[in-house]
A = this chain, B = another copy of it.
């Protein structure tokens, strides 16, 4: 399904190869790990730990560091490079550009564009998109098929909405952002005032402000603010199926892994890493550079540089220690029982004095 095809010479050039060992008429049409590679694949020795796998790999071409001693098998070539991982990254970037070239500017005739929407220069808008009243699409941005940009919403320059992304009314996306399929930016905040058991909706009249260079993963949802704005700082990367509540403020260059959830009005400072399925209660402050482990549940403020795990979350080392002691509980119960027995003998009057 992927239509890549590179000659050995292409690989050598892209990889910055300094030397070539083995067959010359080879072609690769796939990339794989040393152990999983098949003929026709490119592979690489990125970590010395896997050195022993090189001799047995079936890959046609191997990116290999200078200090590797060994020779390619029949119908195989080694491309000697300074740093195989870096070389692979360069090749992957080239492949990425081939597989996803920026589409030529155009607006599909099936797209619905409101009369007063502003479409920048060099914009691509795919089939079935809806760009609602007063929306602004920045220069050189790509709005793939079936996406929705609501009333008064703003998409920054060079941003890319994958198919079926949604930016709801009055929300703002920065420059060079990438929104994946099914993303919802600007759903209503979840706020109710309960009177005699009936939940009355609190109007959610704020918006969402997403910074520059932000990635948002598939089917992730970000709620609009009650008033003011929900804020996603520039450079922050968000994975799939994440929930971000109303009025949350996320700093710059944070990482938020899949299925994590952040409750309303919480502030996440810069460079925080939130692992998968973690949850953070509302109205908290998570200090700069903190790291939250997978599935943890945070219910209090964290100072800068915290590293926590567990529900409720507490410091990583302490949580680890308690985790180990928890597993020794069966033993502890037995020891206490034994102590009680011994103590009974010690404290009760000896039944027979001559024993």
Contact = CB atoms under 8 A, between A and B. Distances in A.
Interface of A: 1-4, 30-33, 36, 89, 92-93, 95-96, 99-100, 108, 110, 112, 126-128, 130, 132, 134, 145-146, 148, 150, 152-154, 162-164, 166, 168-172, 178, 180-182, 184, 187-188, 190, 192-193, 197-199, 201-207, 209, 215, 217-219, 221, 223, 226-228, 235, 237, 239-241, 243, 245, 253, 255, 257-259, 261, 263, 271, 276-277, 279, 281, 294-295, 297, 299, 310-312, 314, 318, 321-323, 325-330, 332-333, 335-336, 339-340, 342-343, 345-347
Copies of this subunit: 3
A130 B128 contact: yes
Contacts of A223: 218, 240
Contacts of A130: 126-128, 145-146, 163
Contacts of A178: 188
Contacts of A215: 188, 201
A296 B333 CA distance: 25
A182 B166 contact: yes
A168 B197 contact: no
Nearest to A201: B215
A123 to B, nearest CB: 18
A241 B239 contact: no
B190 A217 contact: yes
A294 B281 contact: yes
Contact of A339 (B192, B206, B343): B343
A156 to B, nearest CB: 12
